[in-house]
């Protein structure tokens, strides 16, 4: 994949204030992907396709990414970017609300990347757990939401998001089948590995 092309996509997304994955967060996920070469990734929140395009580099041969986005304009731009990056055969975009689309999916995923509506994280987790492989991993971006999640800050506008992000952290921490770390990279990244397999490398 052409790095200059990728930089162009990133620059344009930042100019349009589209909340694409931060460099240090991407680095952590890519490290895992490069060591484990997944066959199938599920991404919730495509935006303009930046993270999905980045991930394609680390797929196993014939691997694919299923990604969900509800904003029509972003889907359109994502399709253009994906075409420009020449990875159309590696990314399937599902257009619509992930809350409606996820229950219709029935694939097995090696990796799930949750990066959409914060108020829906507990629901996304439930769906991720239904479809994750027994040695899979679930990443959740923006889990610390500008520090609101770990403080007692309770501004009305963000209250539902913060409550649901806290609920997500509680669920992944208490689930005996998961081993979870919360990293303070970027806007916070939750990493939950399915337990007892222990053969997947994270660092
Ligand atoms: N993963 C992207 C960034 C995603 S930003 C990257 O790093 O390049 C989050 C995106 O999720 C936004 O484009 C938003 O429109 C979308 N989104 C939020 N809630 C959603 C939902 N319930 N269903 C589908 N898409 C959603
Ligand atoms: Mg994000």
pLDDT in tens, 37-55: 999 999 999 999 999 999 9
Q: Which of 47, 118, 119, 160 to mutate to test the pocket of ligand 1 (most atoms within 8 A of CB)?
A: 47
* Angle at which helices 159-174 and 121-131 cross, to 10°: 30
Ligand 1 center to 74 CA (angstroms):
9
Residue with tokens 């999916």, as numbered in its chain: 105
Q: What strands, in cross-sheet order, belong to the sheet with 64-69?
A: 91-95, 64-69, 40-44, 109-114, 132-141, 189-194, 178-183
> Are 65 and 92 in contact, with CB atoms under 8 Å apart?
yes
Q: Which domains does the chain have, with CATH numbers?
A: 3-194 (3.40.50.150)
Residue 179 has a CB neighbour count (10 Å cut-off) of 17
33: nearest Cα among 67, 58, 51, 64 = 58
pLDDT in tens, 59-103: 999 999 999 999 999 999 999 999 999 999 999 999 999 999 999
Where helices occur in 37-177 by DSSP H, the ranges are 50-56, 72-84, 98-101, 121-131, 159-174
Count of all residues that appear for the chain in the document = 203
pTM: 0.95
């Amino acid at each position: 994949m052409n790095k200059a092309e990728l930089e162009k996509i990133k620059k344009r997304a930042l100019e349009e204030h589209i909340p694409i994955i931060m460099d240090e967060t991407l680095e952590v996920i890519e490290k895992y992907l490069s060591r484990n070469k997944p066959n199938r990734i599920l991404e919730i929140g495509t935006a303009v396709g930046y993270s999905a395009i980045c991930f394609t580099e680390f797929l196993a041969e014939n691997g694919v990414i299923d990604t969900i986005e509800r904003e029509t304009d972003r889907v359109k731009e994502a399709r253009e970017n994906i075409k420009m990056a020449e990875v159309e055969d590696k990314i399937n975009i599902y257009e619509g609300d992930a809350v409606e689309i996820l229950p219709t999916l029935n694939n097995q995923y090696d990796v799930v990347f949750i990066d959409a509506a914060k108020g829906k994280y507990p629901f996304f987790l439930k769906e991720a757990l239904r479809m994750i492989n027994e040695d899979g991993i679930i990443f959740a971006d923006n889990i610390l939401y500008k520090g609101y999640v770990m403080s007692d800050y309770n501004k009305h506008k963000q209250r539902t998001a913060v409550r649901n992000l806290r609920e997500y952290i509680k669920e992944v921490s208490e689930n005996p089948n998961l081993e979870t770390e919360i990293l303070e990279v970027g806007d916070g990244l939750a990493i939950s590995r399915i337990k007892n397999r222990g053969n997947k490398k994270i660092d």
